[in-house]
Every structure is written in C-alpha cells, then in structure tokens.
Amino acid sequence: MKMLAEAGIPTIGADDIAHDCIRRGKTAYRAILSSFGLNILKRDRQIDRKKLGRLVFGDPHQRRRLENIVHPCVAKGLRQFIQRQQGVIALDIPLLFEAGYENWVDSIIVVSCTPAQQLRRLVRRNRLSGQAARRRLASQMPLADKCRLANLVLDNSRSPASLRRQVEKLIMDLKRA
C-alpha cells in the first residue's frame, strides 16, 4: 500500500478504519464495552486491542460478535472514501472475502507469500506468540484460496526489491489503463 500511495494512488486500509472506530468516543467503542466488558480497557480507558484479540481469536462466536460491531463502521468508512475519490484507488482489506466486500471493487490484488513467512511476519508485526498468530490466521480464509479468487497475485516471498518491481509494473499498467 505504501508503494501505491507513494505513486499518488489514493489508498485506505480497513484495519486503520477499524482501529479508529474502536477508539474512545468513537462509533463502536460503547458497543464493544457493552459486549465484552470493562476488563478490556487500558488505564487510559482505550480498548486494549491485544486483550480483545485474545478474547476473539480463539472463539469464533466472540469474533463474530466483534465483527458485527466493527464491520458496519468499517464499511461506512470505506464507502465514504470511495465516494470522495475519482479514478484508480487502492483499498487494503485483509478480510475482503470474509466481509463480503469483493463486489465493491473492480479488481482484486492479493500479495502472497509462503505460509511460514505469513506466520513469521504476523508474529513480528503484531508482536504475537506463534500460537496467537496461528489462531488469527485460522480465523481467515486461507491465503491460497484468496490467491485463486484474485485477478492478480503479487509474490512477496522473495526480496523487497522483487515486490517493488512487481508493484512498479502494476502502477505502470494502471496508468496505461
């Protein structure tokens, strides 16, 4: 996404919208507290996403409860972004298929890597244990299935330079279209 934004393509991430939706005073905050209790709060009264994650990523029922609260807020944020833009835009939606947003877009690009790399990267990026990362990945559609449904798959199993070349080609193709 960063490379697309650097090329001047308007971008937005569903996770960023979700994180904003659950901040104190925001749309989903009260509903989450009502549903999951005050013990998920940090000292500053913000929702502790790690605590909340531990509750929902091991229990499909709890995860659906959270998704039913957060997804409408994310959908609203995505719709507002889409309506404000013209031309090519990029939406970073990790749960595109799971949330049913695939019909919102003209083209689906999946960035893929090996399952081992996906796990390592999730552990490192989110500072999770291997077990917690595996639970999160298990709650999503497998990456291989997403690749089969995509219009284009970018291979991120090699070097950052290799991915950059693929993204640069994609950007050139988009500018020609």
Residue 117: domain span: 2-176
Tens of pLDDT, residue by residue over 104-154, are 999 999 999 999 999 999 999 999 999 999 999 999 999 999 999 999 999
CATH of the domain at 25: 3.40.50.300
* Average pLDDT over the chain, rounded to an integer: 95
In this structure, are residues 18 and 73 in contact, taking their beta carbons and an 8 Å threshold? yes
Task: Check residue 167 and give its pLDDT.
Answer: 96
Name the pTM for this structure. Answer: 0.90
The domain total for the chain is 1
